[in-house]
Amino acid sequence: MTNNTPREPSKHDFMFFRTLFLVAALWNFAGALPGLFDSSGMFAREFGRDLTDPVLMAVYRGAWGTAFLYGFGFLMVAYNPVRHTGIVLMGGVGKALFAMNLHYMFGQDWTSDFAIIVIGGDIIFIILFVLYFFKLKQLGHRWF
């Protein structure tokens, strides 16, 4: 008879997870706060042109609002990394889709070089999130 009870992460792994998701939250807040409170300025940095259309302004600000909410989600994961795997999955997929879209826009010459920082940062988080899921799997935890 085998014991299928999931194991708790080691103290080292637990601290790594907490740090990872705290940094992920800060990364999201670092983009979301200027995106929410200075949407025109953030848009100009990211795309190298002015944001003048009020509809596009609302959509752009809304996207940053979503990133802001993900930041709070990552804080929840930092508090309990084993429990909140669904947030990591949603946040990771969101980062992957955003990075792919921004990469496409960069390839079309629609963005400034600032986009490379955003794309690179999100790719690093995606890789670390995948490693997080593999570590939980090794410990016998289900992802959701």
**Cβ-contact 144, 90 below 8 angstroms:** no
Share of the chain above pLDDT 90, in %: 79
Share of the chain above pLDDT 70, in %: 97
Question: Each residue of 13-50: b (16+ CB within 10 Å) or e?
Answer: beebbbebbeebbebbbebbeebbeebeebbebbbeee
- Report the pLDDT value the prediction gives residue 26, as an integer from 0 to 100: 97
- Report the pLDDT value the prediction gives residue 1, as an integer from 0 to 100: 41
Residue 38 has pLDDT above 80, yes or no: yes
Over residues 82-111, the mean pLDDT reads 94
Band of the pLDDT at 9, cuts 50, 70, 90?
Answer: confident
Which is nearest to 45 in space by CA: 57, 58, 35?
Answer: 35
54-96 pLDDT, tens digit per residue, is 999 999 999 999 999 999 999 999 999 988 899 999 999 999 9
Band of the pLDDT at 3, cuts 50, 70, 90?
Answer: low
Whole-structure pTM over 0.75, yes or no?
Answer: yes
User: If you compute the radius of gyration of the chain from its CA atoms, what whole number of angstroms results?
Assistant: 17
Residues 6+ positions from 116 with CB-CB distance below 8 Å: 106
What are the structural domain ranges in the chain?
11-138
- Report the pLDDT value the prediction gives residue 82, as an integer from 0 to 100: 87
Helix, strand, coil % (nearest 5) of the chain? 75, 0, 25
Over residues 132-142, the mean pLDDT reads 88
